[in-house]
Amino acid sequence: MKIFSLVQGLATGLLMLALDVITHEYAHLLVGRALGLKTIGPYWSPELLAPAVGYDVSEWSWQLTLALYSGGLVAAVPLFATYFLLVSKGLVTRNRMWWSLSAWIWMLAFYQAGQGIIEGAYHDMYIARHLAVFYAQVAMVLLGAVTFGAMHWRDVEDYLRRKGHVRN
């Protein structure tokens, strides 16, 4: 039963990640097209080691800027929405599997929001794979972890208390 719950949690977490990546790339694609940009892909980028969408443009424009921002910012929305749905259904506090899954979703949402800003505002650094971009990505995930921990640390204490590990 516990193994099943663990496998179920991991599978759901990976599925969320896959859906999230698809949402990110299709946001680039659809927003780009809606703004009249010629899009390339989605394709696998060996440089970024991730799926990517390109734009066949010769000069900078506000449409391009918006399309670059859109991937991460759009992808963050369903993740935040899923987290708040889980909270409203009381699932975050149900057990460790749901708690971990919610933490994962919350951290992914932070990562995506940061990624949207990085790709939009710091596009040249992102394409050049500047080390500061990597630090910013790690910082966003850590910020997600810290805020989730601050909001839901009590749940862990509750589990332990329920299991009799904490006496008071």
Hey, what's the torsion of the CAs at 68, 74, 79, 81, to 10 degrees? 160
- 32 or 71: whose CB is closer to Zn ion? 71
- Burial (Cβ within 10 Å: 0-12, 13-18, ≥19) of residue 35: middle
Nearest distance from C-beta of residue 24 to Zn ion, angstroms:
5
CA 151 to chain centroid: 18
Q: By C-beta, is 71 or 114 nearer to Zn ion?
A: 71
The residue sitting closest to Zn ion, measured at its beta carbon, is 71
Closest separation in Å from C-beta 116 to Zn ion: 7
**Minimum Å distance from CB 153 to Zn ion?**
32
5 neighbors 97 (Cβ within 8 angstroms) = yes
Comparing CB distances to Zn ion, the nearer of 53 and 92 is: 53
Please report how close the Cβ of residue 89 comes to Zn ion at its closest, in angstroms.
30
> Are 45 and 84 within 8 A, CB to CB?
no
Q: Which residues bind Zn ion (CB under 5 A)?
A: 71, 119
